[in-house]
Structure 1
């Protein structure tokens, strides 16, 4: 279709960084010894304002003068969501209003893509594009924008999996009517995998919140069911939070990506961050962290969990020199897009000798790693654990923010568990659980979530 999606994503990430910069003063961990009232100093605020002004000036130069949009491919389809991100980011900065010539052109561009069904999109990703545009247009005080927001909200409600879902012929993202017991219930999806996910759901909830939809609305009530099923904590005391099998026994508190991998693998959960070993028990042992090298195509190699397990078993069976009779091992996947394979993983073992595990793992994956340094072994006080889907940064802030927009009380167990995870994993150096993947996305949802929380500090261990 001639879409330069890579260039579009670069603009999207840059805009997200701008939005993060104007969203709030940075929330600091209390362990740093910062007073709760502290935010940016006058000097820091001045530097931030200068950075934001420079970024906005840059964005002005990237606007398509013919259409008024940003990152508009010549061949189509257009992604009005990117224009919504730019307009929203610019208008968050004091002094930039709807009367700004560039903003006005961007608003007109979005309005031109409103369809008869109320959505704001061009052929693809109707939910995502509409969510971003509704959020942006909610800050524009004109009759045309208000009417577009009203129609956009109704369209988004119709895309939510639940009793009120509307299936539209020819729309790949079309949801289906499902009951509360269905893992899809209450969520929104991009459409590519035939199931809802937390990312798209959180953007839709952002749009409903920005448009002034009351938290008592049925759309919010349905969304809470989906949100709880993506939060990795089974219960808190007598309060049941996640009723899905993949969360049984989990005490993480953070969020994963989806309740299902796709339309065929339903109810098994999905985390882009892979797995984590919880409920650690047993005697002391060792853990080997393995990072696979890149393939001939320059992309990281991946191995399926079953293959990793089988190869380790074969190594022990074929090599008599490894005198580790009765040794047990557990494989825990690292970041994974499909929940089945990964380019890095942990091998947890009952073997107490770190050098012995290094030899075993090194012998098994010698051809798959760059060097011995790609396998790091450490001793642990309890090696055995339950392998569960791993909560991670960007999704946890998305879920936490969505809870606040749904008007849950600050002492609600769902909120406090998410906040506990945030405190335990607080960092601005990476997207916890994902490294630098999705970093700007992480910054945006982090800033928006902590701004919604309203405190200048986060409690850390």
Structure 2
């Protein structure tokens, strides 16, 4: 069971149907039609979400959903601290950090002993510890975690050459292929640890990332590069390739939104600019598939993972207003805030009511995703 729970967290989605199977273009609501979310309403929703985590979501040992090792606990800590900086002294946060500390391993990783998801657990734990690192408390832990993450990246150390489609990626255990979701978590952790875009590990990861894009050329030398050609991203090019959204009749790997936003932010973290053809192509896919009522290509599966990645990527890209394929402008922060406020439960939590796949029936995980998403909606 634990294997499938952590796999769910890393993927953030599961295919229900492909983009070609969806009945129509996703519903798009222009910002002018969205009921405004005031700063007071936004803060009230955030406060209710944090209160849920503190009062109802946390175990006696300080953990949140402990069956995931350090993962959900770290996401919850990060979600609280992103929205409430002074909460570092909150007893609930201190207890959660103490729980994460029990996952510090001698090899520098931060994960449950025996876990096959060391990259994922360590990467998300880094995000929490960076924000909680007061008075240099976690300096040495973070330095060891950085070395650990770089060591387990798929490269020459694993006997993988640059010509291999696995090169530069991050995945699960040593015998599992790397994927874009894990690699995007790795890149985010390396960025949070202060690595510049020209860092060797980041550039290796970029090699993997561009091979997951449906774009021929521009560093993508895989057999799938030109079969779809819509500029979107899929799960992995390694070991023959796989898309969670399925394949086309010609054997192309279908793009889907959550991985496209993961690909976009990963390219930005690696130093690609808005005029780079790979970024331009990704933005075209995003404009053509703008939606907040679904995870385009995946329906309701992984919806809150999608919201979180959507917000991080557009923020990293410096985009405040996004025009969709029809030219309709969207103030995405306001639209995302309204979507999330309308979906908040009476107890202050969030849960994916359309699909419980990939653990999105877990209120701790989904509330963390929602709070992290809302942190990008607050521009004060």
TM range (shorter): 0.7 to 0.9
SS of residue in 1 equivalent to 2:169: coil
Which residue among 271, 278, 303 is the counterpart of 1:407? Answer: 271
**Equivalent residues of 2:207, 2:219 under 8 A apart:** no
Note the alpha carbon deviations across 1:11-66, whole angstroms, 9 max, x for none.
x98xxxxxxxxxxxxxxx8x9376xxxx995x43322222221111111122122x
Measure, in 1, the Cα distance between the counterparts of 2:186 and 2:167: 14
Which residue among 181, 187, 212 is the counterpart of 2:194? Answer: 212
**Equivalence for 1:367:** none
**Equivalence for 1:32:** 30
1:188 and 2:170 aligned: yes
SS of residue in 2 equivalent to 1:205: helix
Which residue among 131, 146, 154 is the counterpart of 1:153? Answer: 146
Measure, in 1, the Cα distance between the counterparts of 2:216 and 2:48: 46
Runs of 5+ consecutive residues of structure 2 not aligned to the other structure = 13-27, 326-380
Deviation at 1:9, TM superposition (A): 7.1
**Equivalence for 1:59:** 53
**Equivalent residues of 1:121, 1:130 under 8 A apart:** yes
Call closer, same or farther: CA 1:421–1:45 in 2, change over 3 Å. same
Higher RCO (CA < 8 A, seq sep 6+): 2
Note the alpha carbon deviations across 1:204-223, whole angstroms, 9 max, x for none.
11111111111111001101
1:207-286 counterparts in 2 under 5 A? Answer: 207-235=189-217, 240-260=218-238, 266=239, 268-276=240-248
Measure, in 2, the Cα distance between the counterparts of 1:253 and 1:7: 28
Identify the structure with the greater helix proportion.
Answer: 2
Call closer, same or farther: CA 1:69–1:116 in 2, change over 3 Å. same
1:131 and 2:123 aligned: yes
Q: TM-score, normalised to structure 1's length?
A: 0.62
Deviation at 1:5, TM superposition (A): 6.9
Deviation at 1:3, TM superposition (A): 5.2
Identify the structure with the greater strand proportion.
Answer: 1
SS of residue in 2 equivalent to 1:401: helix
**Equivalence for 2:301:** 437
SS of residue in 1 equivalent to 2:231: strand
**Equivalence for 1:388:** 252
**Equivalent residues of 2:234, 2:260 under 8 A apart:** yes
Measure, in 2, the Cα distance between the counterparts of 1:8 and 1:158: 21
1:69-80 counterparts in 2 under 5 A? Answer: 69-73=63-67, 79-80=69-70
SS of residue in 1 equivalent to 2:310: helix
Call closer, same or farther: CA 1:183–1:95 in 2, change over 3 Å. closer
1:425 and 2:289 aligned: yes
SS of residue in 2 equivalent to 1:444: helix
SS of residue in 1 equivalent to 2:99: helix
Measure, in 1, the Cα distance between the counterparts of 2:287 and 2:305: 19
Which residue among 38, 49, 57 is the counterpart of 2:43? Answer: 49
1:76-115 counterparts in 2 under 5 A? Answer: 79-115=69-105
Call closer, same or farther: CA 1:206–1:80 in 2, change over 3 Å. same
Deviation at 1:6, TM superposition (A): 6.2
Measure, in 2, the Cα distance between the counterparts of 1:58 and 1:119: 29
Note the alpha carbon deviations across 1:102-132, whole angstroms, 9 max, x for none.
1122122212211110000112111110010
Instruction: Give the total of aligned pairs.
Output: 305
**Equivalence for 1:116:** 106
Call closer, same or farther: CA 1:9–1:48 in 2, change over 3 Å. farther
**Equivalent residues of 1:8, 1:71 under 8 A apart:** no
